[in-house]
Amino acid sequence: MAIVKLAKKHTGMKVSAQGLFNNIQPQPIKSSALEMLENLKEMAERYYSGEIEVVDEFLQLYCLDEKRPK
């Protein structure tokens, strides 16, 4: 298993992604948000197992890669 560099353990306020996404209305938006939550969970699982490129995959999937190096 690869060693992944982690941030310091967070001790401040935290936000539950599950709670946040479950409270979204109306239903069409909620469905998309819950799908994004599943993608976030998969990204976390893969990242913490050492697959760091999954973060880049996620950023590309959600079109957040405009500053991605060529």
In the prediction, which pLDDT does 2 show? 66
For the chain, the structural domain boundaries read 18-61
Helix ranges restricted to H, the chain: 17-22, 27-48, 54-61
The CA distance from 50 to 52, in Å, is 6
pLDDT computed for residue 37 by the predictor? 96
Task: Specify whether the CB–CB gap between 49 and 1 falls below 8 A.
Answer: yes
Which pLDDT score, from 0 to 100, does residue 65 have? 95
- 8-20 tens-digit pLDDT: 999 999 999 999 9
The stretches in the chain having pLDDT less than 50 are none
